Structure 1
């Protein structure tokens, strides 16, 4: 009988929690991952042609002895798990991790499928893991709380740790955390505002918080020399809200601004605001801006190649390619992209 990774790692003495680590850190149900493993369904959140999975394992009786692994699974052209890679990972675990004399932390050493998340994703992952395990936040959390409730001097922001900010973000619903952030967001030093905004993409901003983010983003768009990185960070911050209509209206506003041809801004829309691009009229404007993006044809081809790996997105983009009203720039960019793909297939 085929051995499934999910069943090997979760049993009566062991608890398993899965996270998608691709575009953002989000929970992944074991039932869904089991279906993905069995090739019953494609992986729902591919990023750069891989499934990026974070695994948290613990024994309820020994919560301090938890284990964390990060694995990236290659996907085929339809988004299904490449079975040879999955089998390789299972075999390695059977040979190493499940042997009593092997240090389980070392079970994936030299594994070609393991990866290290970037610092922001790692901080959010650890913050969420602490919540799941009922552990306290890091030692840096209180500093962030005090700063955002104006109990620290303005210049103290340089002392705030990334892990403390991540702990604050995953605990927005506790105490007055969200209220303090909304009240004081406009007054934050730009580097701290940018750091908080980038981490907010892993949360689901409420109506109140979305309002604070929206007002600041709208103000930046109206200025001639705003920070492109901060605008891109705010575009990421609003991306995961459940309030899709105001979010989509903001994306339209971003695409109507002079900052819409900036690569960082277009990347933030493409990689984080996918559901906005499901709207054909927003997608069409996005394609027009991408065609005249500062990074040129290479950015157009790379960004769209990643988006078109998603079946639903692929169909929408191909339909948009046939749109009657296109600029010459977009027509040329599409032609160059399709020409490159034809050359690569021969």
Structure 2
């Protein structure tokens, strides 16, 4: 066996060869767990990445020494995907080569954050997503929440006056959302929604997209969304749509997405973008997809927004097939027909199905 063949052939293999323990998280459309077997198959290009975003797989690898659990590192990597949503082997091999070289060259010889130095595939999550990741990772590691959790919990449970909301740390809210099934937090949140100041709700909603709300919380958020639809506050509509985007009840999701699409908020860029990037499963229903395409074609995002959003959705094979099918519908509006023509060229004809 040559020395080259003896080198690890995947990230999973590299980490196991050092005795490190590993947890993998999806950091793309929302933050969630990936099983080690799932990630190994993704790495080996056996399995398409389940939730590609911007044609990339966004992952966080939480690495630690089982003998010293307080010593951990996190690698944030974005892996290029091919047209089938599979990890590009050349990119994976390049990442491995860079990591191995940096570990060899590092003073510690450890798989720490320094291993990603000058790595073009690494990224730093935005602050709000980093807070959500830390909250989920702490829970997964059975570690304590941050020092900010206690105050966020006290405020949510009504043990502090409502007007003390500016003293809440975003990390504390993230910890609370990731522990909604603990300490009566869901009931406290539902009870607090009625008098919750708008800035707190707007901070909570992007966090809520990373969890599946209980039926009671789902209903409370849906009621708030319906109230917001009759207002002129499109930012609130977009925020609440994010909060509800991860519900398990697909028919219910399709229903409220249709309500949003039938409202005057549907043509606003922030609203249609949330539906495209967070509620993509609802678009698997043809009636929802048709309404979405019509509003997208008439929206304030213009032709550039239409083309970019559809290019992102069509990267997912099932969505691509359904969108091309929807393009063949005879009852499409002149605006949608024009937008399709602009995107694909005026001579575009959707291929017939076989």
Q: TM-score range by the shorter chain?
A: over 0.9
Secondary structure of the residue aligned to 2:77 is: strand
User: Relative to structure 1, is the Cα distance of residues 126 and 302 closer, same or farther in structure 2, using a 3 angstrom cutoff?
Assistant: same
* Unaligned stretches of 5+ residues in structure 1: none
CA shift in 2, pair 1:340/1:200, >3 Å? farther
> 2: distance between equivalents of 1:138 and 1:341?
57
Which residue is equivalent to 2:125? 117
1:107 is the counterpart of 2:115: yes
In 1: Cα distance, 2:160 partner to 2:16 partner? 44
Map residues 200-215 of structure 1 onto 2, 5 A cutoff. 200-215=208-223
Q: What's the CA shift string for 1:249-292, capped at 9, x where partnerless?
A: 11111111110111111111100111100000100000000001
For residues 4-57 of structure 1, give each alpha carbon's deviation from its aligned partner in whole angstroms, at most 9, with x where no partner exists. Answer: 111211358321110111100011122122112222222221100111011101
The yes-or-no answer on 1:74 pairing with 2:76 is: no
Count of aligned pairs: 340
| 1:24 alignment partner in structure 2 | 30
Q: Are 1:143 and 1:160, in contact at CA under 8 Å, matched by a contact in 2?
A: yes
1:326 to 313, 325, 332: 332
Q: SS of 2:336's equivalent?
A: helix
CA distance in 2, matches of 1:237, 1:11: 40
Q: TM-score, normalised by structure 1?
A: 0.94
Q: 1:196 aligns with which of 204, 227, 231?
A: 204
What's the TM-score once normalised by structure 2's chain length?
A: 0.92
Give the conservation status (yes or no) of the 8 Å contact 1:207–1:243: no
Question: 1:341 deviation in Å?
Answer: 11
For residue 154 of structure 1, what is the aligned residue in structure 2?
A: 162
In structure 2, do the counterparts of structure 1 residues 341 and 189 end up closer, same or farther at CA, with 3 Å as the change threshold?
A: farther
Deviation by residue 1:169-224 (Cα, 9 ceiling, x = unmatched) = 0000001100000111121111110111111000001101100100000011122x
8 A contact 1:123–1:163 mirrored in 2 = yes
Does residue 47 of the first structure (1) align with residue 53 of the second (2)? yes
- Which region of structure 1 is more displaced relative to structure 2, 33-42 or 67-76? 33-42
Aligned match of 1:275: 281
Q: After superposition, give the CA deviation of every residue in 1:110-137 in whole Å (9 maximum; x if it has no partner).
A: 1000001111211111011111222211
Match of 1:172 in 2: 180
Go from structure 1 to structure 2 and tell me whether the alpha carbon gap of 1:99 and 1:132 turns closer, same or farther (over 3 Å shift): farther
RMSD: 1.7
- Secondary structure of 1:53's aligned partner: strand
2:240 match: secondary structure: helix
Q: Is the 8 A contact 2:341 2:347 kept in 1?
A: no
Q: Distance in 2 between matches of 1:11 and 1:142?
A: 39
* Residues 157 and 188, structure 2, Cα contact 8 Å, conserved in 1: yes
- Looking at structure 1, the residues matched to 292 and 160 of structure 2 have their Cα atoms a distance apart, in angstroms, of 42
Does the CA contact (< 8 Å) of 2:202 and 2:239 recur in 1? Answer: yes
Runs (5+) with no aligned partner, structure 2: 349-354
